[in-house]
Structure 1
Amino acid sequence: MFDAAVTQTSQAEAAPMQRALGEACVTFKHDGSKTRLDDLYQCGSAKFRLPIVYDGIPVAVLINTAGGITGGDIYKYDARVASNGHAIVTSQAAERAYRRSGGIGKIAVTLSAGEGATLEWLPQETILFNASALHRSMTVDLDETARYMALESVVLGRTAMGETIDTVSFRDSWRIRRNGKLIFADDVRLEGDTKDILKGTATTGGGLAFATLVECAADADNRLELARQALEPFTHGTNVRAAASSWNGVLVARFVATDGRALRDALMIFLETYRSAPLPRVWHC
């Protein structure tokens, strides 16, 4: 009996742990007067919610009902805006990548905007906890006349909670195409000792939070001066450093901050100034 019990316990311990799976897709169309929901699909731990808005631009709020991501979890998000539509996709709260017992958490984002459409991808920050592993990809297809704005921000631990990050596995890959032609590619890889990787001036100079904003539009080059004016409060600060550049219809702004709070405050000021519009209400919750 003792040997059988030991065998059963060992088998139970060796069994793979259940992992979170989620897939959510939302599409919008323009009916001639306003942008409306066209289709919605969701399963597993990924959900879209569409709160009531009063400015005519629909907002899709992404929710991870599992509460975070750890090794082995897989999520797929898809958002599309048809011709002449305008929609914003954001998240209910910060995404969290927790310590893993094995495997890698994966998020695959697929986005598209049709002729004359505008899509804004504005999720709240992703927080990486110690020993977490998250690999993320974003694939975007744009029409020649579409406008696309995307923000992703990453925070290494919560300094207010006294958390320290010794090691993570984080990869982020962006590919944006217009009419099938690649116009923007960006890859981030953090593997191993983050303190050592990020201490250099070529990375974050010791900063524990960073973000990238990309805008793809025909007039993106003309908006560079506006972006730099919106960044002016952070160009000489000690808590946040930021800069912007543009080329061939693509504008990019980079942010590095000492911690997540400083980065979030800077992003909210910049986005509302640069976009000339308030952020979705979930950003203020």
Structure 2
Amino acid sequence: MPWLATLDLRYTLDAQGRTISQEQHSGPMRVLQRLYPEGPALAQHVLLHPPGGLVAGDSLTLSVHLAAQSQALITTPGAARFYRSEGEPALQAVHLHLAEGAQLEWLPMETLAYPGCKGRNALTMHLAPGARLLGWDVLALGLPAAEQPFLHGDIHQHLQWPGVWLEHGQINAQDQALMHGPTGLAGHSTLGTLWLASGSPWTEAEREALLDAARSVLGQAPHSSLLCGATSPDPRLIVLRAVAHQVEPLMNALRAVRLAWRPMALGRAAVEPRVWRM
């Protein structure tokens, strides 16, 4: 029997300015920790999926709703996994809804695509005016450290902000032009996307400052060895894309750019979630 899991998180701001949450779940997905290390306005939640991964027919759906002016940071204690599958594809779907003035940092650890997996990884976001969302998506193909390259299997990646941004791709391990060609992944096995979205457009000066900050970080060692770049395809969106041969250098680069962007876009100190230091 497939594992079916859903988790619905709703954040609101109480009369004292504290962001509080309510949750409803079905199946094996929970909030592991609720933390307020930066004060009561920002709720930091660590999500846990005890099975640790998805196989044929499994489905994991997360819905996050932030009421006006509420603030949340969501991360995970470890990588998500699409295991080898002989049956139906496994689905991981995330829906993010931010009301006016809400702020969310969506910072899960990487997703590992095991050789032979059939995965569908989708994220959709909706932002009201004044809302801000800083998020990332990191996908690692195969298990290079275990000498298990991604030689068979396929995974669909889908990132969408309806009407503003759409990135959709199918990664098939046997597509040699995609996996090894110079206009494809060129042999890289890790893909990362970091984005900063605003429900209201930034000024030209603000956009340029955010792009300059990202490019400055990426130009410094050791991040300068990565194949990466930052663009602004819409006045409401800044996107950084990167590929690498391993997860760690790519993730370190995304974390460094996040620290540069956080004070500029969210008005918060350049600090990392406490759970990452455990």
SS at match of 1:131: coil
Show the counterpart of 2:116.
131
Counterpart of 1:114, as a letter, is: A
C-alpha distance 33-244 of structure 1, shift in aligned 2 (>3 A): farther
Partner residue of 1:241 out of 227, 234, 257: 227
Shift of 1:257: 0.6
Counterpart of 2:113, as a letter, is: L
State the TM-score, normalizing by the size of structure 1.
Answer: 0.85
Establish whether residue 201 from structure 1 lines up as the match of residue 193 from structure 2.
no
Give deviations 1:43-63, integer Å, cap 9, x for gaps: 211112333232022112221
Shift of 1:194: 5.6
Show the counterpart of 2:271.
278
Kindly tell me the number of residue pairs found equivalent between the two proteins.
263
Show the counterpart of 2:130.
145
Matches of residues 104-253 of structure 1 in structure 2 within 5 Å?
Answer: 104-177=89-162, 182-193=163-174, 196-217=177-198, 218-219=201-202, 221-222=207-208, 223-233=210-220, 237-238=224-225, 240-246=226-232, 247-253=234-240
Deviates more, 1:119-128 or 1:154-163: 154-163
Establish whether residue 41 from structure 1 lines up as the match of residue 32 from structure 2.
no
Shift of 1:262: 2.2
Show the counterpart of 2:3.
20
Give deviations 1:9-59, integer Å, cap 9, x for gaps: xxxxxxxxx211110111111225434223111121111233323202211
Q: Which runs of 5 or more residues in structure 2 are unaligned?
A: 264-269
C-alpha distance 209-164 of structure 1, shift in aligned 2 (>3 A): same
Percentage of identical aligned residues: 24
Partner residue of 2:70 out of 85, 109, 121: 85
Task: Assess if the C-alpha contact under 8 Å between 2:213 and 2:257 holds in 1.
Answer: no
Distance 1:236 1:113 in 2: 31
Partner residue of 1:60 out of 45, 52, 63: 45
Shift of 1:191: 2.1
State the TM-score, normalizing by the size of structure 2.
Answer: 0.87
Show the counterpart of 1:265.
252
C-alpha distance 235-228 of structure 1, shift in aligned 2 (>3 A): farther
Shift of 1:252: 0.5
SS at match of 1:193: coil
Show the counterpart of 1:12.
none
Show the counterpart of 1:75.
60
C-alpha distance 234-212 of structure 1, shift in aligned 2 (>3 A): farther
Give deviations 1:244-285, integer Å, cap 9, x for gaps: 011321100001111122222222223223324222233344
SS at match of 1:272: helix
Distance 1:34 1:204 in 2: 46
Task: Assess if the C-alpha contact under 8 Å between 2:243 and 2:250 holds in 1.
Answer: yes
Distance 1:50 1:134 in 2: 27
Shift of 1:209: 0.4
Higher radius of gyration, 1 or 2 = 1
Task: Assess if the C-alpha contact under 8 Å between 2:32 and 2:45 holds in 1.
Answer: yes
Deviates more, 1:184-193 or 1:77-86: 184-193
Give deviations 1:122-154, integer Å, cap 9, x for gaps: 111001110001112212111011111220000
